[in-house]
Structures are given as structure tokens and as C-alpha cells.
Amino acid sequence: MAKYKDKDHSYSEEKEGVSYTCPMHPKIKCKRSEMCPECGMGLVKAEDEAVHETEGGKGHDKHEGHSTEMFIKRFRVVAVLAIPLIVYSELPEIFFDWEAPRFFGWEYLMLLLGTIVFFYGGRVFISGAYREIREKLPGMMTLISIAIVSAYTWSVYATFTPDETLFWELSTLIAVMLLGHWIEMRAVTGARGALKELASILPKEATVIRGGKEMAVSLNDIKEGEVSVVKPGEKMPVDGLVKDGSSEVDESIVTGESKPVTKKKGDEVIAGTINGDGGLKIKVTKIGDDTFLANVMRLVSEAESSKSRLQVLSDKAALILTIVAVGAGSVTFFTWLLVGDDIAFAVARLVAVLVITCPHALGLAVPLVASVSTNMAAAQGFIIKQRLALESARKVDWVLFDKTGTLTKGEFGVDSVLAISGLSEQDVISVAASVNSGSEHPIAKAIVDHAKKKGVDVLNVDGFERIPGKGAKGYVNGKNAVVGSEVLVNEHKASVPEHLLESVKKFESKGKTVVYVLRDEQFLGVISLSDIIREESKEAVKVLYDQGIRVMMVTGDSEDAAGWVAGELGIDEYFARVLPEQKVEKVKELQGRGLKVAVVGDGVNDAPALTQADVGVAIGAGTNVAVESAGIILAKNDPLDIPRIIRLSRLTYRKMIQNLFWATGYNVVALPLAAGALVAFGIPAIDPAIGAIFMSASTVIVAFNAVLLKRFSL
């Protein structure tokens, strides 16, 4: 696939050899400084050893859910250690008027337990902060670290003085933070998975022939050019060419088409597709990252890391909140010191403020919703490549549909062939098929198939050139041959005999596509082809009209053929004989009037318009160029997915806004409480651990609210 271009990546740097990791999830590795797919935090630069670092010293660990488990493991230890720290705090006395029996050196035991809690439980946060600061991107890890380091340092000092320590606050805070993270991550994992699902499509091993013997090797060990044996019912391990055998292959994961495709010697097979009843020997042509599936996975992961406008906004808000937190924390701390309260109280307030203002929920608010919606989309059958496309979809005023291959299946059949006097139908077909033997256009394929079926010679073509939106040309037998629309006839100053014009008119009024065949500027004949309108197209148009969206069909086909299809589908606005540049012009014109435009297309001729559109949607079965240019891909080739995209976009936006509220709104109430600003009015200050509960609760609400999006059916 060509280098994929993304309207949405200008702010993300990509450097060779640098990798990024999540401070919370060391197993996450990424080439870009995007956000963690696990928790949505910003990724930070990682040195190699930092990336490979795993908990428990078990070496490189790929186990799923490993880091999630790490949080709960640490939580359990910290929670147990917190019990004696609470029992020996001032709490029992306050609440039960009871004091645990003191014994010699109990303070030092508390110090020991507190130290274990700090280093064992707090380590995750501190190493996270270290990476954030090195990246000059202070965030939640930094805040939590300042909080726990302050609490711990103070407590160590207080152990040796008559002052109160903050060990119980420290341990409950760390416990809550660890538990909060664990709950969150579980909520988040439920929201992800498209990539994992794709990865699980590939078999783990493949059978190859080496030294004349069949042996099972891991996918990583296969080399290009080797021969792999695929037994009936197995999945293709690699992309390749059939060397021996024949079978019906289920390619639905790639094409969405459930009908199995016959594969015989010389045919291409794609990794992940399922072999039918025949055994196949495959010559390996592509392995690993070059396979089709790997490319799709790359697209999906780029989507997962491509940020929406709201994401950029909430990232900024998170940075501001961090600054506010540190500012508010310092003001709180020094105010309490100046007021002359004891330092323990001042430190506790500082810690509470830092914890409460942590922008953790904010960091998750948007990405979580985004990943739930990406997955809903994938489950429905459309792949979101650019988040911005999905975000813009809710505001779409116009949907511009291409006709051939989009509203229709693009599966043409040749109906009739008419030749000028002196030539046979076979001659016309032969010229048309020869020129088109190099083309991927559905019309071209139909003509070539027809020629083969009729036993007509398909000759070599030299200097083949496609003329997007018009046709194709090339030299056949040294003569300049052209196949395509009426436009080309005019361009070549050829003319169609009167008596044929009538038949052409008749074909087109029934929705047939008519192509003209020329040789050395001379008109030879016409070929009339019929296409099948997709079953879902009519319903899709109706639903869009009901959603209040205007629909337009733009096609390179003739006026009559276009009019017939538009009539069948109930589309009241259409443009025929539209060239690729004119498709772009249409989009620009509407955009110039302040309207948002979605373009749905499949062909090379649609690519420029797909790029120009606010929302470019490509039919999955369409050409590579169209798929590369679009922001959303319809894997099932179903036009009904267009209204679904719009609905999903609207739902997603609403959820994101709700989440931004839940992530920041509570600060307005909680911050003054944490700072102890209302103590003078008899309202007690919030303890750090309660603050942590607030913060985690906000995060859990945000995660839960995001998952609720799944309840909506599209």
C-alpha cells in the first residue's frame, strides 16, 4: 500500500528508532507519541530497557492483562499493610475513643510499613512521573508523585518528632489509586479489542516444506519464496500464490462477501482467509508486516491513535488542570502554614488538592468514548481510519454517492454488442478486451470475462493507460485503441452512426452502461453492460432523507443511465458524465456554501473527492487508491452504513461532551473542600484518600459512561 496520508497527524512526530510507551502500561510500544490504547494517557519516549521492563522480573512478557494484574496484586499488599497503619493512627481515637496498645518501637514499625507501601505501591506512579518529566509533559503521574512524596517525606520527619505522621493517608491514597487504576483498566479493556480480534485471525503456526518434508514452523520463521501447505479448513498463514491444488476459499474477512471464491494454480490468497475443502500449496509472497491483514491492522491502529479535535482540546485542558493543581496545591500549603496551622495538616491539604485535581478522568474522557465507538463501528462493519472523519459526520449536510461500484455492485455483465457494418461483434469485443486486459475497472473485468467466455482472442496491449472517469486506451496490434464513455468519442472526433444511436438511447434509458470502442480514431461499435443495484442502496437513501440529509449522485456514466438508477433509488438530484476533477469541484462548491459534505465512492476517479470531503467513505471492495484516500471504510460494502456512521457520530459526540463534564465538573466542588477553604464555616476538609476516591469515582463514571455507548444500536 502506498504511504498512507492522514489529515490528522500534523502534531504527532514520527522519528525513526524512537519508541513511545505508556507510563502506566510498559508493554505498550508505539512509534508515535500518541495515547495509550490501554488507558488513553499520553505516551512518553522510552529507552529500550524502559520499554522491556516488566514487573516481577520475569523478563520479556507478552501475557495479556499482565499489567492489569500488577495493579490488583500491589493493591492487595498495600491494603493489608494499611490496616495496622490505620489502627495506629489517630482515627480509632477520634471515632471510637480507643487507642491501640502502643509497644516499644511501634513508630518505627509504622515507618517500616509506610516505607514498604511507598516504595512497593508508589513505585508505579513515581516511575511514571519520571518519564513524564523527562518528556516535559507533566500530568497525572507527576501530581500523584508530588502528593505521595510530600506525604512520605513529611511522615519520615514526623516519626522522629512529636508531629503527626501521614502514613494512613499515604497508604489509603496509594491503595485507592491502585484499585482505581485496576477498575478503570478493566472498564477500558472492555472498550477495546478491534486490533486484538484482527490479530487473532492469523494462525500461530504454518506448515512449510523444507528439505522435502512438511514441518510446522512459527509464523515468524517463514521466509518469502517458501512453500506452505494449507490443509482443508485451515487459515492461510501468509499472502501468496497457489502453486498446487484448488479449493474454495472463504475471503469474507477481506471482502465481506460470504460466497467462497475458487482458487487454483496461480491465484492469489490472502493471510487470514479460510481454506475450504481442498488442500493447497502456497508459494509465500508476503510475510509479516507486508501482508494485507497487517496493512489493515496498521490502518486500525492508526485510527486508534489518530486524535479527534475534542481529544486535542481535552489534552490541553489536562495540561492546564495540572498547572492549576500544582498552583492550587502550593497556595493551599503555604496559606495553611501562614495561618499557623500545624505542618501535618498543611501537607495533608496539599496532598488532597493534588489528588483531587488530577486530570486522570479528563485524559480518559474522550479517548475511551472514541475507542468504544471505533469498536462499535468495526463490529458493524465499517473501519474508522481517521477519527476526524467520524467526528465531522454528525454535521454532514450532503452525501454525494458515486454510482458504479458504490450504489451499484459494479458487477457488470455484457448484455449486447453492436458493431458498425463490416465488423463482427467479436472484433469489437476483441479490441475492447485487449485494451482492458490491464485495467482493474469493473467494466473492464466484465468485458475481458465476456471475451474469454465467448472464446474471443484477448491480445497484448502496449502503453496501456487508464483515463479516470472516462475509460482506457492503449496500442493493440500497433493500432491506437480506445474504450470508454461518449466523452472519448467526442474527444477523438469520431462519430456514431445514426442507426446505432437509437439503440444506445434505448439501452441507457433502462439504466445500462454503454461503452464505445474506437480504433485509430474510428468508431467500431458499442458494448452495453448492466450492473446490479445494491439491495441496501434504496433504504440507505431513504434513511438519509429521513435524517434530514440531502443526497446527490455523481457519476461518470451517461445521463440516461444515471437518471434510471437515480429514479430506482428515489434520488432527486444527480449529475452524470462527471469527471474526477468535477467531482472535487462539486464538493468544493458545497463546502464553499458552508456545508459539510460526505463523499462515498469506490474508484480511482473518486479518490480526489474523497480526500476533499469532510467525510470520505470508501467501499471496502473498491480500489486501493479510494481506500487510502478515505477516512472511513465500509468493509461490508453496505451503503446503509452511511446513516449508521452519522448516527454513531452524533452519539459519540454527545458521550464525549458528557464525559468532559464528569471529568472536570466535580473539581468545582471538590477542590475548595480539599483545600480546606470551608473549614472556617464548619465544613471539614476532605482527606487525601477521600480525594482519591472522588478522583477514581470520576474516572470510573467516565469509563462506565463510555461503555454505555454500546447500548445504542446503530
678 vs 672: CA distance, rounded Å: 7
- Interface size with ligand ADP, residues (CB under 6 A): 23
User: Cβ distance 235 to 202 under 8 Å?
Assistant: yes
- Report in angstroms how near the CB of residue 35 gets to Mg ion at its nearest: 36
User: Cβ distance 89 to 171 under 8 Å?
Assistant: no
- Interface size with Mg ion, residues (CB under 5 A): 5
Binding partner of residue 8 among ligand ADP, Mg ion, none, CB under 5 to 8 Å per kind? none
Applying CB under 5 A, does 314 fall inside the site for Mg ion?
no
Phi-psi category of 233—alpha, beta or left, where left has phi over 0 and alpha has psi -120 to 50? left
152 vs 538: CA distance, rounded Å: 67
By CB under 6 A, the residues from 594 to 613 that bind ligand ADP are 603, 605
Applying CB under 6 A, does 121 fall inside the site for ligand ADP?
no
By CB under 5 A, the residues from 395 to 414 that bind Mg ion are 402, 404-405
User: Cβ distance 482 to 517 under 8 Å?
Assistant: yes
- Report in angstroms how near the CB of residue 214 gets to ligand ADP at its nearest: 43
User: Cβ distance 250 to 266 under 8 Å?
Assistant: no
Binding partner of residue 371 among Mg ion, ligand ADP, none, CB under 5 to 8 Å per kind? none
Q: What is the DSSP string of 112-174?
A: HHHHHIIIIIHHHHHHHHHHHHHTT---HHHHHHHHHHHHHHHHHHHHTSSSPP-HHHHHHHH
- Give whichever of 367 and 410 is closer to ligand ADP, judged by the CB atom: 410
* Piece in contact with ligand ADP (CB under 6 A), picked from 109-117, 136-144, 552-560, 685-693: 552-560
- Give whichever of 26 and 511 is closer to ligand ADP, judged by the CB atom: 511
By CB under 6 A, the residues from 498 to 527 that bind ligand ADP are 513, 515
Binding mask 134-163 for ligand ADP (x = CB under 6 A): ------------------------------
What is the dihedral sign for C-alpha 460, 462, 466, 467? negative
User: Cβ distance 71 to 185 under 8 Å?
Assistant: yes
Q: Choose, from 8, 239, 315, 402, the residue flagged as catalytic.
A: 402
Applying CB under 6 A, does 556 fall inside the site for ligand ADP?
yes
Among 42, 381, 469, 563, binds ligand ADP (CB under 6 A): 469
Applying CB under 6 A, does 470 fall inside the site for ligand ADP?
yes
Residue type, 273: T
Applying CB under 6 A, does 484 fall inside the site for ligand ADP?
yes
* Piece in contact with ligand ADP (CB under 6 A), picked from 42-50, 396-404, 532-540, 685-693: 396-404
Which residues contact residue 663 at a Cβ distance below 8 angstroms, ignoring those fewer than 6 apart? Answer: 314, 359, 361, 362, 364, 365, 698, 699, 702
Binding partner of residue 484 among Mg ion, ligand ADP, none, CB under 5 to 8 Å per kind? ligand ADP
Of 294, 367, 307, residue with least CA distance to 37: 367
- Report in angstroms how near the CB of residue 473 gets to Mg ion at its nearest: 19
Applying CB under 6 A, does 623 fall inside the site for ligand ADP?
no
410 vs 513: CA distance, rounded Å: 11
Which residues contact residue 150 at a Cβ distance below 8 angstroms, ignoring those fewer than 6 apart? Answer: 347, 350, 351
User: Cβ distance 434 to 458 under 8 Å?
Assistant: yes
- Report in angstroms how near the CB of residue 511 gets to ligand ADP at its nearest: 12
714 vs 704: CA distance, rounded Å: 19
Is 531 one of the catalytic residues? no
Among 165, 386, 436, 612, binds ligand ADP (CB under 6 A): 436
CB atoms within 10 A of CB 478: 7
162 vs 164: CA distance, rounded Å: 7
- Report in angstroms how near the CB of residue 295 gets to ligand ADP at its nearest: 24
Binding partner of residue 229 among ligand ADP, Mg ion, none, CB under 5 to 8 Å per kind? none
How far is CA 65 from each of CA 28, 38, 81, 188, 300, rounded to the nearest angstrom? 12, 10, 25, 12, 21
- Give whichever of 367 and 484 is closer to ligand ADP, judged by the CB atom: 484
- Report in angstroms how near the CB of residue 377 gets to Mg ion at its nearest: 23
Of 188, 324, 179, 34, residue with least CA distance to 702: 188
- Give whichever of 41 and 472 is closer to ligand ADP, judged by the CB atom: 472
Binding partner of residue 483 among Mg ion, ligand ADP, none, CB under 5 to 8 Å per kind? ligand ADP
Binding mask 600-629 for Mg ion (x = CB under 5 A): --xx--------------------------
User: Cβ distance 128 to 149 under 8 Å?
Assistant: no
- Report in angstroms how near the CB of residue 602 gets to Mg ion at its nearest: 5
* Piece in contact with ligand ADP (CB under 6 A), picked from 90-98, 239-247, 438-446, 542-550: 438-446
How far is CA 459 from each of CA 15, 427, 435, rounded to the nearest angstrom? 49, 11, 8
369 vs 663: CA distance, rounded Å: 13
Applying CB under 6 A, does 584 fall inside the site for ligand ADP?
no
Q: Where are the alpha helices (DSSP H) in 394-526?
A: 425-436, 442-453, 486-491, 498-509
Grid cell locating 644: 449508521
Phi, psi (degrees; rounded to nearest 5) at 426: -60, -40
- Report in angstroms how near the CB of residue 466 gets to ligand ADP at its nearest: 6
User: Cβ distance 46 to 134 under 8 Å?
Assistant: no
What is the dihedral sign for C-alpha 696, 701, 702, 704? positive
* Piece in contact with ligand ADP (CB under 6 A), picked from 98-106, 341-349, 439-447, 454-462: 439-447
- Give whichever of 34 and 602 is closer to Mg ion, judged by the CB atom: 602
- Give whichever of 37 and 556 is closer to Mg ion, judged by the CB atom: 556
Applying CB under 6 A, does 404 fall inside the site for ligand ADP?
yes
Binding partner of residue 381 among Mg ion, ligand ADP, none, CB under 5 to 8 Å per kind? none
Applying CB under 5 A, does 34 fall inside the site for Mg ion?
no
Give the binding site for ligand ADP (CB under 6 A). Answer: 402-405, 436, 439, 441, 443-444, 469-472, 483-485, 513, 515, 555-557, 603, 605
Report the catalytic residues.
402
Give the binding site for Mg ion (CB under 5 A). Answer: 402, 404-405, 602-603
